Amino acid sequence: MTIRLFAAALLAATALPASALAGTVASPDGRISVTVDADEEGKPFYEVMRDGKVLIARSQLGFNFTDEDPLRRNLAITGETTDSADTRWEQPWGERQFVTDRHNELAVTFAEKDDTPRGFTLRMRVFDDGIGFRYEFADRADHPVTNIAEELTEFTIAPEGTAWWIPAGDWNRYEYLYSNTPIEGVSMAHTPITMRLEDGTHLSFHEAALVDYSGMWLQRLQDRRFRAHLAPSSRGAKVVRTGAFHTPWRSIRIADDAAGLVENDLELNLNEPNKLGDVSWFEPAKYIGIWWGMISNRWTWAQGDRHGATTERTKDYIDFAAKNGFRGVLVEGWDYGWDGIWFGNGRDFSFTKAYPDFDLEGLAAYAKEKGVHLIGHHETGGNIANYEAQLADAMALYGRLGVDVVKTGYVADAGGIISCNADIALPCEGQVMEWHDGQRQVQHHLRVVEEAAKNRVAVNPHEPVKDTGLRRTYPNWVAREGARGMEYNAWGPFNNGPDHEPTLVYTRMLAGPMDFTPGVLSLKGDKDVPLASTLAKQLGLYLAIYSPIQMAADFIESLAEHPRELEFIRAVPADWAESHLIAGEVGDYAIFARKDRNSEDWYVGGVNDATAREVALDFDFLTPGKMYKATIWKDGEGATYETEARHRIAYDNRTVKAGDSMSIWLAPGGGAAIRLQPLD
Ligand code: NOJ
Ligand code: CA
């Protein structure tokens, strides 16, 4: 049901700032208010107040172009409209089934004072837990193509605080460990970037609905003043658009605490509704794969004695999946192209031709017989020219075989995506290089997602563009990497330190689902390097890091050696009716309570950093009057990620009800997982 309330009265009641037409719009609860205006020089700006205090000080708006004058001064407001919404919509899958969208909107139109046809409308939406705004450009008959050199949107954070951030514009895309510095210590950062201000207010800056535009990095100019820095393009202009268009939404989550940042649907609400219709063919599920073997160097993607993707091994994995209730089996290295140098090159990849020792058709049929689905893999080496030329055939093949999830990959240094000079004509001659989050690659990802959807295939890109909530519009875009995943642990001892995951929860995970690939129960990578994790933390990850497709990443032999942990992994859902962060602080720890979407079971658990701690868990979320059986997997006495004691785990069973509380000890680098089943 959609209720649309018009907020004109509310706006009329608000005091108007300097210029007669300047507008102010407040959040439904009145705590946040945003002013949009132009100063004496006609420079457009916005300002955000919360609880009567300045949160985002006057911050400029505007654009530079490659072929016309900047649009940043000499502007006046020529019109305003208001609107508001109070709706609830349903997700086909997700962290929660229903999402509430309650906001007030103000759209302010700016035009150049000297009577040119230039200008834009700034559409501002204010929610109780954040704001989003975007620029809208009308069609210009005399200048149909807009060539954006830079977007000049600024964000000046008024109070002091600290930030958790990763660098943008460096070679390793989003795959960095997070830095925690004063806000003044940030250089050029990717979004989402998280901040905690001196009064405890939590902020996250990001964007929503990144479509046909370049990804936004945040560049600190001075003090706590940041400006958009769009990912570059080989074309000169960072964004080229024809006719009327709008930018992605620039979003700021605003919350009193860490939980308010996490239980926040701002970017989803700013995205367009589902364009694909019925997507019930996509089933949130868990999977295993012929993967950790290559990541930890025991097997190879390339052909030869140690080739991972053999027919025989895949059958073993299918059998194990069937026996243990895993829906999916990922197989990498099944297709031609891995034998030479494929990193950042990808010219030899075929997406339809299997290596001779891999019987794709036979295995797809074998899987089907066993009630299992192969999960496909398209590594491109960043060569999207080569991939797009084969895309239709590749997706049709998977569609026909019932391979209904595909993991894609873009292994190339940042800025090393290989595209064609001519945007569409394929195959192409002259190649150009693009960024993983530049406009060209943003277009590419949607092409893949749309082609996949035609064939009822869901997509999970690695080395992707960041998530901006497009899963709402394209619900077959189910997960992605876009941060340092589990794989880094295979490549060196404690490569992802113990605070990595409790930082991801409050940073990268605010963007959307991540294919982090938990479940390395052996706690070992290449040459047996140890993970900075206890065994219980490997289970807690299923609750801390959300994805509708969750891997159990270890070798099947290692999974089988841990029957009690496997019991948890078998049980834990990948789709939720509700999700709440019940305890946690940014970078320290995170404990969630999540309710299964398909039963009355609840799950509680999460991850810890390097500091051991005792956490009090309150079970207020349980249905009052019901008793629940709690099955507990927790860090064993003396467990710590630092030594062999990382393998120590303890099990417990008890009965709990709403109103009870329980104290749980989290080891250094530890975690916990609890299953709560109603008794009758
Ligand atoms: C990097 C991905 O993150 C990893 O999961 C994949 O196995 C390799 N690329 C090869 O595609
Ligand atoms: Ca990767």
User: DSSP letter at 183?
Assistant: G
21 pLDDT above the threshold of 80: no
CATH number of residue 97's parent domain: 2.70.98.10
The reply to whether ligand 1 has any atom less than 6 angstroms from the CB of 437 is: no
- The CA distance from 396 to 393, in Å, is 5
C-alpha to C-alpha distances, 110 to 21, 73, 227, nearest whole angstrom: 10, 10, 20
Tell me the C-alpha to C-alpha distance, in Å, between residue 282 and each of 359, 406, 458, 568.
25, 12, 7, 23
Query: Which of 217, 234, 268 is where one domain is finished?
Result: 268
pLDDT digits (tens, 9 = 90+) for 563-576: 999 999 999 999 99
Q: Is there a single domain that holds both residue 264 and residue 125?
A: yes
Instruction: Kindly report the protein residue whose alpha carbon is nearest to atom 3 of ligand 1.
Output: 462
Tell me if 548 is assigned to some domain: no
Other CB atoms within a 10 A radius of the CB of residue 271 amount to: 21
- For a mutational test of ligand 1's pocket, the pick from 174, 288, 290, 332, i.e. the residue with the most ligand atoms closer than 8 A to its C-beta, is 332
Whether ligand 1 lies within 6 angstroms of the CB of 462 is answered as yes
Model pLDDT for residues 524-566, shown as the tens digit of each residue:
999 999 999 999 999 999 999 999 999 999 999 999 999 999 9
Q: Are residues 472 and 506 in the same domain?
A: no
Tokens found for residue 668:
């250094």
- Asked whether 379 lines ligand 1 (CB < 6 A), one says yes
- Regarding the beta carbon of 409 and ligand 1, being less than 6 Å apart is answered yes
Task: Say which ligand is closest to the CA of 291.
Answer: 1
pLDDT of residue 16 exceeding 80: no
How far apart CA 178 and CA 344 sit, in angstroms, is: 25
Q: What is the pLDDT of residues 256-280, one digit of tens each?
A: 999 999 999 999 999 999 999 999 9
Q: How confident is the model at residue 318 (pLDDT cuts 50, 70, 90)?
A: very high
Nearest to 437 by CA among 464, 472, 410, 407: 464
On whether both 372 and 242 belong to a single domain, the answer is no
Whether 162 has a pLDDT exceeding 70, the answer reads yes
Same domain, 249 and 228: yes
Is 487 a known active-site residue? yes
- Ligand 1: distance of its center to the CA of 409 in Å? 6
Residue 114's φ and ψ, nearest 5 degrees, are: -85, 30
Assigned domain for 274 exists: no
Ligand 2 centroid, distance to 587 Cα (angstroms): 22
57-82 pLDDT, tens digit each? 999 999 999 999 999 999 999 999 99
Q: Are residues 241 and 361 in the same domain?
A: no
Q: For residue 313, report the distance from its CA to the centre of ligand 2, in Å.
A: 24
Question: Within this chain, do residues 635 and 669 fall inside the same structural domain, yes or no?
Answer: yes
Within 128-192, strands assigned E span 130-137, 145-151, 154-157, 161-165, 179-182, 188-189
Strand order in the sheet with 239-242: 63-65, 145-151, 239-242
Residue 595 main-chain phi, psi, to 5 deg = -105, 130
Q: Are strands 216-222 and 549-551 parallel, antiparallel or unpaired?
A: unpaired
Q: Ligand 1 pocket test: pick from 462, 463, 520 the residue with the most ligand atoms within 8 Å of its Cβ.
A: 462
Asked if residue 331 and residue 255 are part of one domain, the reply reads no
Q: Does residue 335 fall inside a structural domain?
A: yes
Find the ligand nearest to 175 CA: 2
CATH number of the structural domain spanning residue 299: 3.20.20.70
Span 631-660, average pLDDT: 98
276 inside domain = no
Minimal CA–CA distance to 193: which of 171, 214, 170, 220? Answer: 220
487 lines ligand 1 (CB under 6 A): yes
pLDDT at residue 14 in the model: 40
Q: How confident is the model at residue 3 (pLDDT cuts 50, 70, 90)?
A: very low
> How confident is the model over 454-503, as pLDDT tens digits?
999 999 999 999 999 999 999 999 999 999 999 999 999 999 999 999 99
Overall average pLDDT of the 360-378 stretch: 98
Can you name the residues that pair with 589 across neighbouring β-strands? Answer: 585, 608
Question: What DSSP string runs through 445-469?
Answer: HHHHHHHHHHTT-EEEEES-PPP-S
Give the count of beta carbons closer than 10 Å to the beta carbon of residue 48: 24
Q: Any idea what DSSP says for residue 644?
A: G
**Domain assignment present for 277:** no
- Mean pLDDT computed over 228-250: 96
| Residue where a domain terminates, one of 268, 294, 320 | 268
Residues 533, 418 within the same domain: no
Instruction: Single out the residue of 60, 66, 29 nearest to residue 46, CA to CA.
Output: 60
Residue in 285, 347, 360 with CA at minimum distance from that of residue 597: 285
Q: Is the pLDDT of residue 608 over 70?
A: yes
Distance (Å, whole) CA 45 – CA 35? 8
Q: Are residues 576 and 460 in the same domain?
A: no
pLDDT at 7 over 90: no
According to DSSP, residue 215 is labeled: P
Atom of ligand 1 nearest to the CA of 409: 11
95 contacts 594 by C-beta, under 8 angstroms: yes
State the closest ligand 1 atom to the C-alpha of 294, by its place in the atom list counted from 1. Answer: 7
In this structure, the answer to whether residues 434 and 506 fall within a common structural domain is no
Q: Is 180 in a helix, a strand, or coil? A: strand
Q: Residue 448 sits in which domain range?
A: 285-482
> What are the residue ranges of helices labelled H in 497-633?
500-504, 535-544, 556-560, 563-571
What is the Cα–Cα distance from 594 to 602, expressed in whole angstroms?
6
Residue 366 to residue 348: CA distance in whole angstroms: 28
d(CA 309, CA 317): 11
- On whether both 498 and 447 belong to a single domain, the answer is no
pLDDT computed for residue 119 by the predictor:
97
Q: Give the Cα separation of 195 and 677 in Å (integer).
A: 37
Does the structure show a pLDDT above 70 at 603? yes
Question: Which backbone phi and psi does 17 adopt, to 5 degrees?
Answer: -75, -170
Nearest alpha carbon to residue 553 among 520, 598, 512, 592: 520
pLDDT at 18 over 50: no
Distance 611 CA to ligand 1 centre (A): 31
Q: Is the CB of 481 under 6 A from ligand 1?
A: yes
In 493-601, the DSSP E strands lie at: 549-551, 576-585, 589-596
For residues 515 and 405, the answer to whether their CB atoms sit within 8 Å is no
* Confidence tier at 420 by pLDDT (50, 70, 90): confident
Q: Please tell me the total count of domains within the chain.
A: 3
Annotated active-site residue in 487, 561, 565, 614: 487
Q: Which segment of 1-5, 235-239, 572-576, 668-672 scores lowest on mean pLDDT? A: 1-5
Q: Has residue 427 got a pLDDT over 50? A: yes
Model pLDDT, residue 20? 54
pLDDT tens across 82-137, in order? 999 999 999 999 999 999 999 999 999 999 998 788 999 999 999 999 999 999 99
pLDDT at position 631: 98
Please state the rounded mean pLDDT for residues 206-215.
Answer: 98
* 472 and 500, same domain (yes or no): no
Q: Which of 268, 303, 323 is the last residue of a domain?
A: 268
For the cut 50, the answer to whether the pLDDT of residue 616 exceeds it is: yes
Give the per-residue pLDDT at 484.
98
pLDDT at 421: 65
With respect to residue 514, please indicate whether it lies within any of the assigned structural domains. Answer: yes
Cα–ligand 2 centroid distance for 224 (angstroms): 31
Q: Atom 6, ligand 1: which residue's CA is nearest?
A: 409
Is 553 inside any structural domain? no
**pTM of full prediction above 0.75:** yes
How many A from CA of 480 to the centre of ligand 1?
Answer: 11
User: How distant is the alpha carbon of residue 147 from its chain centre?
Assistant: 28
pLDDT at 198 over 60: yes
pLDDT for 1 beyond 50: no
Atom of ligand 1 nearest to the CA of 485: 3
Contact between residue 673 and residue 559 where contact means Cβ atoms under 8 Å apart: no
| Domain membership flag for residue 628 | yes
Percent of the chain scored above 70 by pLDDT?
Answer: 95
Does 515 sit in the ligand 1 pocket, CB within 6 Å? no
- pLDDT for residue 12: 35
Q: What is the mean pLDDT of the chain?
A: 95
